[in-house]
Amino acid sequence: MTQYRFWSGLHTIGGNIMEVQTAQARVICDFGLSVGGDTEQIDETLSELEFLLVTNQLPSIPYLYETESFKKIKLASVNESTLKTTLFISHLHLDHMGGLQYLPEGTVVYLSEDAYRLYYVLIKVGEENPSKADIRLFDFDTAVQVGDITVTPKWSDHDSVGCSAFFIETQELKLIHSGDVRLNGEHPERIIEWANEAKAWKPDVLLLEGTSFSFDGEKKQATEEPVSEKELLQKWGELLQDDPDSIILYNPYIRNIERIKAIAEETELYGRKMVFESAYAEVLHAFYPEKKWRILESTQMDIKEYVEEVLTLQELIQHPSHYVLQNSYKNKETVTYFNNGIYVHSNGEPLGDYDARYAELLYFLEIHQFSFVQMGTSGHATKEDLLTIAENVGAKQTIPWHSFKPEVFQQRLIEKGLDSFVPEVNKNYLAKQKTEIGVIE
């Protein structure tokens, strides 16, 4: 008998964790942290893991954690489990993998090759915490057997390298976990390909992220952000051309490697030199070893073979129009060394106005006479693109999640003639037959 269950992520953007379980084995897809947990009363006697469980930033999944030392939560420990358990991570964003560091030693976790490479270079530069889990590689289109559960990863596209969708099959169930998807990025053909394969595969269930349905059209339009990576590059070029005199500070998300490389190349075409903090150059080198990068001296860790030039902050101050400086939030004080300038926020940290640091950043830039330019683009498919994917796959049931408003997405799916429902957290769903999905109370 095959059951599937949702542990979190049904009414949030991120933190979506689900499992497929048989009598022999259990597959858990993604393992990220949920933001906005109840953290008002902090008990300092709790371990970090138990605190995250108490505040619902991680779900209390039985037989997954080492729980013997817990003080408040009664939860079956991994040492009591007889199930073969394996985790599959769709991509390297914190809301999909931030919980890896809390897994006990020996827990098997699969990543794509690029996600694996990114994970370990982020650990190297201090942007990620190591895990005691047994991290393994999978190959796209090559099945991984976990007991009587077969997982076949498919190459997908999001704003982080090595993104995956998962085709999960047991004797009674065919389920697709879409991961985060977009058709406005550099590789829409990857999603089109796995969606076409899915149509032929005839899945019982499609789990489809619905981030775009979290917002009404007016709010999304008001941001006036580029709608695609291609348009973002065009706007970047326009900025370089329209303001040739000011220093430009650029704050990208360190995990969006492809965009950072593209911005650096575009910058050089307009006659400016792109200067990186050492950690960002290290990450870029992991994926583009043939290229060399300019480094800001004050952030330099040590001399590397991929460093083209080391520049002092004083050189940038003397010739601000010659440079673009990549600037992470933790190094925002760099702004104070310039009389004025332009600060381009490109999906870097803080990620949005829900983070208190975002308002602090805007105020900080204002008092130091820096113009703020929002120049990111969504890593998530539009509403219409999501509906197109769902229609093309044609699953017997399409389940919307990874959204503040999954019910809105569900209604649109139904209007398209697709069977859909919004599940509940911590409830088992049973595939009794290929044509029927039931619920175990």
- The pLDDT tens digits of the residues spanning 350-360 come to 987 778 899 99
Q: Which pLDDT does position 316 carry in this prediction? A: 97
Q: In this structure, are strands 397-401 and 323-326 parallel, antiparallel, or unpaired?
A: unpaired
Res 40 pLDDT > 70: no
Angle at 234 between CA 250 and CA 241, to 5 degrees: 70
**Phi and psi angles of residue 410, each rounded to the nearest 5 degrees, phi first:** -55, -45
Question: Which domain range does residue 256 map to?
Answer: 226-374
What is the dihedral sign for C-alpha 227, 228, 233, 237? Answer: negative
pLDDT in tens, 81-97: 989 999 999 999 999 99
Domain boundary at 318, 343, 374, which? Answer: 374
* Claim to verify: residue 237 and residue 358 sit in the same structural domain: yes
pLDDT at 242 over 60: yes
Please tell me whether residues 97 and 21 are part of one structural domain.
Answer: yes
Question: pLDDT band at 42, cuts 50/70/90?
Answer: low
Same domain, 182 and 260: no
For residue 84, give the amino acid letter.
K
Residue 266 lies in a domain: yes
HSE-CB at 339 with a 13 A cutoff on CA atoms is: 7
* pLDDT score, position 441: 35
pLDDT at 354: 74
CATH of the domain at 322: 3.40.50.10710
Final residue belonging to a domain, choices 348, 374, 400? 374
Same structural domain, 361 and 400 = no
- Looking from the CA of 240 toward its CB, the CA atoms found within 13 Å total 23
> How would residue 225 be classed by pLDDT, with cut points 50, 70 and 90?
confident
What are the tens digits of pLDDT across the range 278-327? 999 999 999 999 999 999 998 887 778 899 999 999 999 999 999 999 99
- Its pTM stands at 0.92
**Using CA atoms, how far apart are residues 429 and 441, in angstroms rounded to an integer?**
9
296 within 8 A of 308, measured Cβ to Cβ: no
**Does one domain contain both 174 and 93?**
yes
Would you say the C-alpha torsion 272, 277, 281, 283 has a positive or negative sign? negative
**430 compared with 23, residue with greater pLDDT:** 23
Distance between CA atoms of 51 and 158, rounded to whole angstroms?
31
Question: What is the pLDDT confidence band of residue 60, given thresholds at 50, 70 and 90?
Answer: very high
Of 209 and 303, the one with more pLDDT: 209
Is 72 in the same domain as 51? yes
Q: Are residues 197 and 252 in the same domain?
A: no
Position 41, amino acid: Q
Cα 340 from chain centre: 33
Domain tally for the chain? 2
334: which DSSP letter?
G
* Residues belonging to the chain: 441
Q: Say whether both 314 and 414 belong to one domain.
A: no
Euclidean distance between CA atoms 250 and 373, whole angstroms:
10
Residues 261 and 358 both lie in one domain: yes
Query: Looking at the structure, do residues 21 and 113 belong to the same domain, yes or no?
Result: yes
Residue 220 in domain: no
Lowest-confidence pick of 225-239, 270-284, 316-330 = 225-239
Please indicate, yes or no, if residue 221 is contained in any of the structural domains.
no
Q: Within this chain, do residues 303 and 400 fall inside the same structural domain, yes or no?
A: no
Last residue of a domain, one of 335, 355, 374: 374
- Together in a domain, 111 and 163: yes
Q: Which of 107, 167, 179, 102 is nearest to 136 (CA)?
A: 107
Give the three-class secondary structure for 110.
Answer: strand
CATH number at residue 211: 3.60.15.10
d(C-alpha 14, C-alpha 32), whole Å:
7
**Confidence at residue 217, expressed as pLDDT on a 0 to 100 scale:** 65
Query: Residue holding tokens 């113009």?
Result: 371
β 248-252/323-326 pair status: parallel
